[in-house]
Amino acid sequence: MKGSFIIAGTDTNIGKTVLSALYMSVREDLSYWKPIQSGLEGETDSIVVRRISECKPERVLPEAYRLSRPLSPHLSARLDGVEIDPKQLLLPKQSGLIIETAGGVLVPINENLLQIDLMKTWALPVVIAARSSLGTINHSLLTIEALRKRDISIAGLVMIGEVNEENEKAVGYYGGIEIIGRIPPVPIMNKESLVAIYHEYFRTLTF
């Protein structure tokens, strides 16, 4: 799984999908996988990544589970009459894979499994997506602590939203973590704008 990594958020609707699209836009050697899609109304995350990054269809892997309601996977699956089997969530056998998680790291997958338990079995470095606004310090530090408690490698953290240097400094200092990028608001979200953001605000991943 050389070159593969996980993108996990500190909360829901953080911007994990946009961050995934950014890496897909600047790295032709990467593929994208959203193991569990909760919510099928409108565009799914896989469709958004493909549209924004303008990548070839084969670079976006099919989801293992497509659940109809935009809820925590354990609840969305239950309402759909589906049982999520961890065996269906084993990593595809290929290198250069972005895995976008469902929600935050402690989101329940089924009655016996949390998202972070899956991340532990995948044994890949994690890029944390965090909002830049009020509340991010607490959410980010809790996420960092949960990952470290389970000896899950953290590659760094990306701030998403209006630039807030004080929040950024606090998360970096108290979390003992590197802020490897930021995604500010842009008028038009497309491949060109994301590539420009990457070159201005991001540090190159080294794995």
Ranking 9-13, 58-62, 111-115, 198-202 by mean pLDDT, the lowest is: 9-13
Residue 1's pLDDT band (cuts 50, 70, 90): low
- pLDDT > 90? residue 2: no
The tens digit of pLDDT for each residue in 65-114 reads 999 999 999 999 999 999 999 999 999 988 899 999 998 999 999 999 99
Question: For a pLDDT cut of 70, what percent of the chain falls above it?
Answer: 99
- Closest listed residue to residue 14, CA positions, set 117, 101, 93: 101
**Residue tagged 């999520």 (tokens):** 84
Q: Is 161 helix (H, G, I), strand (E, B) or coil?
A: coil
Residue 196's pLDDT band (cuts 50, 70, 90): very high
Question: Rounded CA gap, 60 and 50, in Å?
Answer: 7
- pLDDT > 80? residue 129: yes
Question: For a pLDDT cut of 90, what percent of the chain falls above it?
Answer: 92
- pLDDT > 70? residue 194: yes
- Closest listed residue to residue 98, CA positions, set 150, 155, 40: 155
- According to the model, what pLDDT value does residue 82 have? 96
Q: Which CATH class is domain 5-201?
A: alpha beta
- According to the model, what pLDDT value does residue 207 have? 64
Residue 152's pLDDT band (cuts 50, 70, 90): very high
Per-residue pLDDT, averaged over 130-150, amounts to 97
By annotation, the residues acting in catalysis are 34
Question: Rounded CA gap, 30 and 46, in Å?
Answer: 14
Residue 18's pLDDT band (cuts 50, 70, 90): very high
Question: Rounded CA gap, 31 and 60, in Å?
Answer: 6
